[in-house]
Structure 1
C-alpha cells in the first residue's frame, strides 16, 4: 500500500504536537504495527489512530454501499417534484445533465482525497494534511460541523421521504380514503429511524451483506419500471416536448430563473460522496477500492438517473395533473396513471425498500462520522460516542446519537410541513461545502500528496469546476422555489444554516478553541515489542 510509509512527517508530527496540547486526560494506546495487517498498520502509522473495526467490506460490497447512498430510483421518485415545478419536462431532463456533470466533478475530487487520506473522518481529516498547521483547528472545525449537519439533514430527509412513499402506497391501497397528515409522516419516519438504528447496532458484516444484494435489486427495479412505463403509457409525449418544453408552475419570472430550481433534485440525489470515506477503516485496501467505488457509483447514478428522468418526462402526461397528485408524490401519480393501482403500489413499495437501504447505509456512515469526530473531540460528549461495543464491533452509542438527531429534526414538519423541504436544501449545501473546503485547501496550499487514485493533469481543472459549481448552486438553493413568497412556502434553509453556524460558533468561542486542535493521534506507534511500556497497554481491539 503506497500510503503505509509515506506522509508521516507532517501528519504524524502535527498529531503528536496536537496530542501534547490536549494533555494526558487519557492514556494513549500503544500500537505495535508489526502485529497489524497492512491497512491497519497504515492507519496507525499515517494518522495515529488505533484500528478498532473489522475490514468486512470487499470491493463489490463497497461499490454497493456507495451506490446505495444515492438510491437513484427512490430519490428521483421523491425529488422529481422540484424540476417539474420549476420548468416542466425540459427542466427535469437538462438539469440532470448539467447538474450531474458538476456533481461528477465533486465526486471525482472527493475520490482523489479519499485515496490519499482513507480514515473514518473523511474530508474533515484531510484538512489536517492540506492546510497549514496554524489553520487546521478552525478550518477542520467548520468542515466537520458542515459535514455532520449535512449528513444529519440527509438522513432525516431520506427517512421523511421513505415515510411519504410508504403512506402514499397505503393511500393508493385504500383508494384514496386514507389521507396521511404531517403527524403521520413524522411518526412513521421516527419508527423507521429506530429500526435503522437497530440494524446498525448489529455487526458490520450484516450491512455488508445487505448492500451487496441491494445493487442487483435496485438495478432490476429501475430497468423494469422504465420498461413498464414506456410499454403501458398510451399517451407518450414526443421528443420535442420532452427536451424543449419549459413550463413553470413556480411563479418565478423570468422562466429561465425558475428553470434553475430543478438542480436540487440532482444535487440531493448525487451527494454524500464521502459516505464511503467514513467506512474506509472497514474496507480492505481502502486507498484503491473506496475512491473507485465512489466514482463508479456516482457515474452509474448520473447516467441511470438521467435516463430514468427522460422516461418519466415521456410518460408523465399532464404535468399539472402529476403536481396535483392526491398522493403527495408526482412520480407515484405517474405510476398510478400508467400502471394502475397494483403497479403503483408495487413500485412505490420498491422505492420504499430502496430508500430504507439508503437510510441504513447513511446512518452507518453518519455513526462512523460521529465516532471519528468524537475521537478528535469535535462534538460534546466525545467520550461516549467514540466507544466501540466489543460484542458487535460497532460504535452503538454513536449510532443512537445519529438516530436521535435524525428523528428530532423532522419534528419541524409538525409545525410546518412545507418547511421540511428546507432540510433537502441544507443537506445539499452543507455536504457539498464540507467537500469543497478541503478541495480549496488542496488548490491553495499545495500540500497534497496523491494517493493511488489520482486524476493527474486533469485534477486542478476538475477541482476548480467542483468549487465553482457548488458556489453557483448554493445560491439557488437558498431561494424559495415558489413565488409569491409566503410564510408557508418560504425556504427556511438559510435560517437553519444560520442557526448551525451560530451554535457551532458559540461552542467554538466558549470552549472549542481552548481544547480543539484538529484531528489528533490517539495511539503511540511502535515497531515490534521493544518499548518501555508493558504489553498490557496495547489496545487488543486493534489486533
Structure 2
C-alpha cells in the first residue's frame, strides 16, 4: 500500500527547523520534514523505510553493545591483566573516556544523519586538500571494523554454546570445528532476521532489549545472594599481574583493551540513520543514553563478577572454557541453573549479532552508493521486495563464513580479528573527530546540530582524540609478554594490509570513481 502523507506532530521530539518550519511526520518511507531536508541537503535519495523510532533505535544500539554481557564474556582478559581491581577501575576509566568520544560523534551524527557515518563526516569536515582520500580510507576501515564485529560476536556466542554443552556433558571434548558449525547456525538466524523478518527488526530488537535489562537482574541477583564473595578490600585494591608483564601498571593498561571493546560500535545507530524517524534528533540521544545506561550496567556487573571470583586462576583455567559459566556454576551449584543463566547471555549475543549484521550491511551499502568499493552497483542497491540492501547483507554473511574457517586452524589467529576490528574502528573515530576539531580550531562554521556541544565542543573533541590514540596503541599490544610468533598480536598486520590495500586501490582506481559524499551535498540548508 502506498504511503499516505500526513501532517501530525512528531510524537515525543517536536522542534522547529532552522528556517522556523515545524517538524512534522510525512510518511513511513520519508520520515519527517527534517529527515527529508537532511537527505536533500546530503544529496541522498530515500530508499529504505524509516521503521525505527526513538525507543526502538535505543534498544537496537543497547543490544549491539550488550555491555554487561560483554564484560562477562571478556572478563578473562581483564582478570589476566590487572586482576579484579584492574578490571573494575580500568573499566571505569574507559567508561569516562568514551563519554567524550560518544558526545563528539553524537554531535556529528546530528549534523549529518546518514548511514555512511564516519566516512561521510570526514568528507564534509576534512580540509579540502585531503577530504576525498581521508574519507576513502575511513570508509574502508569502518567497513572492515563492522565486518569483523559480526565475526567476533558470533564467535563468542558459539564458544558460549560450547561451554553450556561442556557443563551438561562432562565427557564433551570441545573442537574448534564445532564452534565453526555453531557460528554458521547463528549466521542463518542473522540472515533470516535481516531478510524475511527485516520489517519486524525494530520490534524484535525491542523485545531483546527487555531481555537485556531483565536478564541483568536475573543474573545479578543470584550472584549477590548465593555466591561466596571475596572481601571488598581485595576486590577493589588487589591488582594482579597474572601474565607476568613484570610491571603492574603495564598489565592494567593492557587490560583496558577488553573494556574498550565493550564500547566500540556505539555509533551503530548512526549507520541506521536512514531508517530512523527524526534521525538528527533521535540518534544522538540514543547514543548518549546507551553510553550512560549500558556503561553503568557494565560497571555494576564487572564489580559483581569480581566479588564472585574468589580464586582467579581456577576461574581462568575452567574446564568449561568460559570463565563466567564457571562462576555461575560455583554460585548456584546447579547445572540447570547455570545453564539457564548462560542461555540468557547466548540469546542476547545471537540477536546482538543480528543487529551487527544489519549495521554493517548499511555501512557497506552507503560506501558502495558513493562508489567506494569494487562492484559498487551490486552492493549499493536496495531490494524493492525487502526494502533493505540485500546484496550487502549477503556479502556480509559470506565474509563472516570465510573468517570462521580461521579458527579451525588457529584460535589465536582468530582472536586477532578482535584487535583488527577495534583498531580499525578507533581509527575512524579519531580521524572523524580530528576533522571537526580542526574546523573548530580554525574558527570555521559548523553545520547546524540538534545536539550542540557549544563551548564544550573543542575540549570534548581534544580529550576524545587523546583518549582514542592511547587505546589505539594498546589495541595492538600482544596478549602476553615475550610472546612466541604464534602468540603475537597479528591484528596490526591485518590492519596494515587493509590500509595498504585501500591506499593502493585508491590511487589505481578509487580516485577515478570516488568523489566523496561532500560532492553530492547541496548548499540549500
Question: Do they superpose with TM above 0.5?
Answer: yes
**Do structure 1's residue 299 and structure 2's residue 297 form an aligned pair?**
no
- Cα deviation, residue 191, structure 1: 2.6
| Gap regions ≥5 residues in structure 2 | 1-14, 21-29
Superposed counterparts of 1:60-459, under 5 Å: 60-174=55-169, 176-202=170-196, 204-233=198-227, 235-339=228-332, 340-446=334-440, 447=444, 448-459=446-457
Query: 2:485 aligns to what SS in structure 1?
Result: coil
Q: Distance in 2 between matches of 1:43 and 1:115?
A: 10
Change in Cα spacing, 1:154 to 1:519, as seen in structure 2 (3 Å) is same
Q: Distance in 1 between matches of 2:199 and 2:18?
A: 25
Structure 1 range deviating more: 324-333 or 517-526: 517-526
Q: Deviations over 1:213-235 (max 9, x none)?
A: 122111111112111011111x3
Q: Is the 8 A contact 1:115 1:287 kept in 2?
A: yes
- Cα deviation, residue 524, structure 1: 9.6
Q: Distance in 2 between matches of 1:36 and 1:301?
A: 28
Q: CA RMSD in A?
A: 2.0
Query: 2:208 aligns to what SS in structure 1?
Result: helix
- Cα deviation, residue 521, structure 1: 6.5
Query: 2:113 aligns to what SS in structure 1?
Result: coil
- Cα deviation, residue 98, structure 1: 0.6
Q: Give the one of 508, 511, 514 matched to 2:512.
A: 514
Change in Cα spacing, 1:189 to 1:36, as seen in structure 2 (3 Å) is closer
Q: Which has the higher contact order (CA 8 A, sep 6+)?
A: 1
Q: Is the 8 A contact 2:315 2:327 kept in 1?
A: yes
Q: Is the 8 A contact 1:110 1:273 kept in 2?
A: no
Q: Distance in 1 between matches of 2:315 and 2:468?
A: 30
Structure 1 range deviating more: 361-370 or 457-466: 457-466
- Cα deviation, residue 38, structure 1: 1.0
- Cα deviation, residue 520, structure 1: 6.1
Query: 1:134 aligns to what SS in structure 2?
Result: coil
- Cα deviation, residue 407, structure 1: 2.4
- Cα deviation, residue 111, structure 1: 0.8
Q: Is the 8 A contact 2:124 2:517 kept in 1?
A: no
Q: Is the 8 A contact 2:42 2:522 kept in 1?
A: no
Query: 1:276 aligns to what SS in structure 2?
Result: helix
Q: How many residues align?
A: 496
Change in Cα spacing, 1:435 to 1:110, as seen in structure 2 (3 Å) is same
Q: Is the 8 A contact 1:190 1:407 kept in 2?
A: yes
- Cα deviation, residue 43, structure 1: 3.5
Q: Distance in 2 between matches of 1:227 and 1:5?
A: 52
Q: Is the 8 A contact 2:43 2:521 kept in 1?
A: yes
Match in the other structure for 2:8 = none
